[in-house]
Amino acid sequence: GLDSFDEAATKQAVILRILSLVGWDAYDIDEVKPEYPVGNSKVDYSLRYSNTNKVFIEVKRVGEELEKHQEQLLNYSFKEGVQLPILTNGVAWWFYLPLHEGSWEQRKFYTIEIYDQAPEEIVNRLVDYLSKENVVTGVAVQTAESIYRSRQKDNLIVDTIPKAWNRIISEPDELLIELIAEHTEKLCGYKPENSRIENF
């Protein structure tokens, strides 16, 4: 099975097959450029259109941990202005927006785990972010940007809720005091003074 694949087998049996399925001509090296040179190193594949690098794909053997390879791939992408790099071991696919601020983890906008996700979801996301049509038209990057912005918004909300809560409990708020007074009255029949609630 897949677990026995080394990096070369992963490239040939998994990556090139998927690229073909999403519209890339894996036999045209002007379109799917293997071992694309970046400085003194090489990225495994550059998906190109009109002589422009659109997507970098760095491939590791099946089962290899990807964390330690993020920085290298994102540096390649940043250096070359590639907006959509992908790090994969054939089973896990990590999609990035390298030109954004933040840690490597924050710039990873989507992850596919072949063994953990429904096949339909995997196919849809591979088409969204990797199909030749979506990459060439810019739709892939637009979709990625939308997910990234949504995640940033969610993170901001999650970070801000505790601050809002702390402000509410540290600075007496008239609505909150009134709400507590009403509920106290409903429970015991007596409405407390506002100062008593503030001191609580």
- What is the identity of the amino acid at 145? E
pTM for the whole thing? 0.76
Q: List the chain pLDDT tens, one digit each, 200 residues.
A: 677 788 888 888 889 999 999 999 999 999 999 999 998 999 999 999 999 999 999 999 888 889 888 888 988 898 999 999 999 999 999 999 887 777 777 788 899 998 899 999 999 999 999 999 999 999 999 988 888 888 888 878 888 888 888 887 777 778 888 888 999 999 999 898 888 887 77
CA angle 31, 132, 66 (to 5 degrees): 85
Domains and CATH numbers, the chain: 2-137 (3.90.1570.30), 153-199 (no CATH)
Starting at the edge strand found earlier in the chain, the sheet holding 84-88 runs 32-38, 41-49, 52-59, 84-88, 92-96, 108-113
- Dihedral sign from CA coordinates of 24, 25, 29, 35: positive
How far is Cα 60 from Cα 37, in angstroms, rounded to an integer?
A: 17
- Least Cα distance to 100 among 115, 87, 111, 84 occurs for 84
